[in-house]
Chain A
Amino acid sequence: MNGLYPISVTVNGRTHQREIEPRLLLSDFLRHELGLTGTHVGCEHGVCGACTVLFDGQPVRSCILLAVQADGHEITTVEALASGPDQLHPLQQAFWECHGLQCGFCTPGFLMTLVPFLEENPDPSEAEIRQAISGNLCRCTGYQHIVDAVKLAAERRRQSMG
């Protein structure tokens, strides 16, 4: 009991090796061990979606995964979206322009849910967008501006791909 467990996890392209307690949640590993505080922790029981990250490219909730389960896997967090400190990912840009955030607490989770969604659904309907974000809670925007942002990002994405 309480032993440490060695893991090797690739986060945003960099491999990290640590010895951790098995009970450490992936969300806490990212924030406390790696200092990647862009992943937010809201409800800590898998309801609010704020902690969504990509696990081998697929969105998952990092607060209901143990860090030991990420051993040997690739994690992508919101920090990996923009290409540089002064840059925004096109979806972030659209959120900014459409007022898709106010306090911003839920935003990383929305972004990490929506990036893979737009890759799979380049031209989503409003109903599909609303269904895609149904696992993410936002208490500020009323969702309308988030939906607008997704539509804008999708439209630009399609244009850029010609």
Chain B
Amino acid sequence: MKPAPFDYQAPASLEAALDLLARRGGEAKVLAGGQSLIPVMNFRLAEPALLVDINKLTELDFVRRGEDGGLRIGGLTRQRRLERDPLVAEAAPLLHEAVPFIAHPQIRNRGTLGGSLAHADPAAELPALAVALRARLRLQRAGGERWVDAKDFFAGLFTTALEPDELLVEVAIPPPPPRTGWAFMEVARRHGDYAQVGIATLVTLDEGGRCREARLVYLSVGDAPVEAREAARLLNGEEISPQVIAAAAEKASQDEMRPNGDIHATAAFKRHLARVLTGRALRRAVERARDGRAAA
């Protein structure tokens, strides 16, 4: 229950960190909040030769308004800050609603946005949220950078598009279109535990009150965040009715996910949860979208 020996470096600048990753990225792990990494090192499921501690890179801890009116959030931003920052609540209310579901305050005080995304646990909230919010991720390496859409970032179980010499430095979240409602819901045995199923939903209505675009992204039902695109298509262009919601919930839970059962929930029970949560989340999101329209 103690980590195996490793080299430890805590570079004082982003440049030094990227340089280190360029030279030794293949044998290194990046230490951000460490709330997933240190436990797996304690279990010796991970035994990196080098730990690159990026906690001194305070320039990666920020929340600010993007030029497009959306959000720009640094990779090292703590989850606790996402929970409390009024700008997050205003510019990405879905994120604001979901962050308190991430583990416990003790964890959120250390855990970071970039760390959770790079870890890519399919049961984690932030990867599903990034996909639902159409977030773009800036991956920097010594001498270059690239932007990757969240949907292309998550490659599978604990696997992402990050190369060993790259660091996830920033996340850009576009502003929601007008008349957009949101809802995040999950079912866990105890608040803060891994969710059995969770859903991040965004619904944008058109001027006539019909659904222009719906997004339904699930956690804990596959190897990565699962987006139910077919179910969302059933909603697009429609007047949102209980029948349409029921059809979408059925489609998503039966045809668009392949959850694995575990000791707490069978696969069939997870599908049941996904169906019920889809209905609830869609109703809440549509309600909020309509409130927004009334206010506008």
- Tell me the A residues contacting B by CB distance below 8 Å: 1-3, 5, 21-23, 25, 28, 44-46, 49, 52, 55, 58-61, 63-66, 68-69, 113, 117, 130-132, 134-135
- CB-contact partner of A46 in B5, B6, B35, B191, under 8 A: B35
CB-based closest 7 A-B pairs: A135-B104, A22-B8, A45-B39, A64-B38, A44-B1, A134-B191, A23-B3
- What residues of chain B lie closer than 8 Å to A49, measured between beta carbons? 104, 106
**B239 CB to closest chain A CB, in angstroms?**
37
Interface pair B105/A68, CB less than 8 Å apart: no
The interface on chain B, measured as residues whose beta carbon lies within 8 A of the other chain's beta carbons, has a size of 32
Alpha-carbon distance between A60 and B192 when the two chains are bound, in angstroms: 15
The answer, yes or no, to whether B247 is at the interface (CB within 8 Å) is no
Interface pair A22/B39, CB less than 8 Å apart: no
Most B Cβ at <10 Å: residue of A66, A113, A117:
A66
- Tell me the B residues contacting A by CB distance below 8 Å: 1-8, 10, 31, 34-35, 38-39, 41-43, 49, 51, 53, 55, 80, 103-107, 109-110, 190-192
- What residues of chain B lie closer than 8 Å to A28, measured between beta carbons? 2
- CB-contact partner of A45 in B1, B8, B191, B192, under 8 A: B1
Interface pair B104/A66, CB less than 8 Å apart: no
- CB-contact partner of A58 in B7, B80, B103, under 8 A: B80
* A-B pairs with beta carbons under 8 Å apart, 13 shown: A22-B51, A23-B4, A23-B5, A25-B38, A49-B104, A58-B105, A59-B106, A60-B109, A64-B39, A69-B53, A130-B191, A131-B191, A134-B192
- What residues of chain B lie closer than 8 Å to A21, measured between beta carbons? 5
Given A45-B42, A58-B80, A66-B34, A135–B6 Cβ distance below 8 Å? no
**A51 CB to closest chain B CB, in angstroms?**
9
Alpha-carbon distance between A21 and B3 when the two chains are bound, in angstroms: 11
Most A Cβ at <10 Å: residue of B1, B80, B103, B109:
B109
Interface pair B5/A2, CB less than 8 Å apart: yes
Alpha-carbon distance between A46 and B41 when the two chains are bound, in angstroms: 12
B53's closest neighbor in chain A, by CB? Answer: A69
Interface pair A135/B106, CB less than 8 Å apart: yes
Interface pair B7/A1, CB less than 8 Å apart: yes
**A54 CB to closest chain B CB, in angstroms?**
10
- What residues of chain A lie closer than 8 Å to B110, measured between beta carbons? 55, 60-61, 64-65
Interface pair B42/A63, CB less than 8 Å apart: yes
B50's closest neighbor in chain A, by CB? Answer: A1
Alpha-carbon distance between A55 and B55 when the two chains are bound, in angstroms: 14
Interface pair A134/B190, CB less than 8 Å apart: yes
Given A22-B8, A23-B6, A66-B34, A60–B42 Cβ distance below 8 Å? no
Known interface pairs A64-B35, A66-B31; 6 further A-B residue pairs with C-beta atoms within 8 A, sorted by A's residue number: A3-B7, A22-B6, A23-B2, A44-B2, A45-B39, A68-B8
Interface pair A135/B10, CB less than 8 Å apart: no
Interface pair B42/A64, CB less than 8 Å apart: yes
- What residues of chain B lie closer than 8 Å to A68, measured between beta carbons? 8, 10, 53
Alpha-carbon distance between A71 and B150 when the two chains are bound, in angstroms: 34
**A19 CB to closest chain B CB, in angstroms?**
13
**B31 CB to closest chain A CB, in angstroms?**
8
- What residues of chain B lie closer than 8 Å to A58, measured between beta carbons? 80, 105, 109
Given A21-B5, A69-B53, A134-B190, A55–B38 Cβ distance below 8 Å? no
Alpha-carbon distance between A131 and B191 when the two chains are bound, in angstroms: 7
Alpha-carbon distance between A69 and B267 when the two chains are bound, in angstroms: 40
- What residues of chain A lie closer than 8 Å to B43, measured between beta carbons? 45
A109's closest neighbor in chain B, by CB? Answer: B106
